[in-house]
Structure 1
Amino acid sequence: MAVSLYNPSSEAGLKKLDEFLLTRSYITGYQASKDDLTVYAAISKTPSAEYVNVLRWYKHIDALLRISGVSGEGSGVTVEGSAPASEVATPPAADSKASAADDDDDLDLFGEETEEEKAAAEKLAAAKKKPSKKESGKSSVLLDVKPWDDETDMVKLEEAVRSVKMEGLLWGASKLAPVGYGIKKLQIMMTIVDDQVSVDNVIEDYLTAEPINEYVQSCDIVAFNKI
């Protein structure tokens, strides 16, 4: 149910708001919502201790904004301009069941923070500061592996290439493609975890180094695509 309030920065408005919050924890509903933010923003400064209920509600909303924010949608509240006390509309009284529930909320939410509440607030603040773990990306790489000559055993060449094993490296499909003069090259796919494997290192430290360079004359990257 939508609520209409006059300027809560005026004495008349604060008085009515104080009466309104006597049996309520929030402007509407049973959790902090956008309605509370609307009224909170309309109050120009921290209410005086004279308005006990408004002050306790104001400090609670202020604490929520500092710790975790307010996500409730609310039922809709309108804050109108200031008006004489005689013209300020009194919000509809809550039924006895709702009032009793809100009284319970007052005891829990507006009193001093318990040790459990403080611990929960600290845990939430720490979780927000902790950076989320970024998942490592993967890439698909197509290599051209060329033998020394037409007498190179291409079966053994491929076995030598696939013998290179390391964490984050997975060999895939392969085929032989003609180069010329009876020479064929090995085209082979590899999938790598970017943070764990460097393709340049695989080529320089393994595929073109001993003992695999007995079969491999050169190795080139044909295609490199992020997955």
Structure 2
Amino acid sequence: MAVTLYDLSSTSGLKKLDEYLLSRSYITRYQATKDDLTVYSALPTAPLDEYVNVSRWYKHIDALLRISGVSGEESGVTVEGSLVAEPVATPLAADTKASVGEDDDDDDVYLFGEETEEEKKAARNRQIAQVKASGKKKESGKSSVLLDVKPWDDETDMKKLEEAVRSVEIEGLLWGAFKLVAVGYGIKKLQIMLTIVDDLVSVDTLIEERLTIEPINEYVQSCDIVAFNKICK
């Protein structure tokens, strides 16, 4: 998916990016790619908290860069009308982008009711397959995972939802930082980081057998993998 963004140093440019990220966790795909680095580098400073979606995305990309870097094929993102900063020092720096029009496609992260269960499972399987195909595993490694946890409605107690999610304890699973991200109509979703030992924890099993069953499903409607990244071998 190719995207063109404009003047991220201006209020109008940031508002446009904020609207674009309302229903997406990354610029073009289901995980962080060099497209995210392109936009990250084009921002002159960290965005203000009033740009809720841009701020959430910026802090997450910043955290990924500190933990494990960003890889993945870019789709081609152009930022016009901005002074682009020097590329971020990461294992894979952002490449030159081709200028093309903004386009929505099946690589977007979908929210409430926009994907079937079969599509969600297929997306998770693709991400896990990409991680496994990245290299031969000689030793038990660890992975960093970002989950979207969606409530039933705007009346769901998000504090109790977070507590219910963190109540799941598995050997090799460590819960991390979280954020509440507004998705519209007064509804917020829980976005939470976790670290797993690959040989001990299956994320699919965690979601299907632990996070969406009683009594947790009193608060949790569904869970989706937003990002799945190796952090060590």
TM-score normalised by L of structure 1: 0.43
The higher-RCO structure (CA 8 Å, 6+ apart) is 2
Which structure carries more helix by proportion?
Answer: 1
Structure exhibiting the larger radius of gyration computed from Cα positions: 1
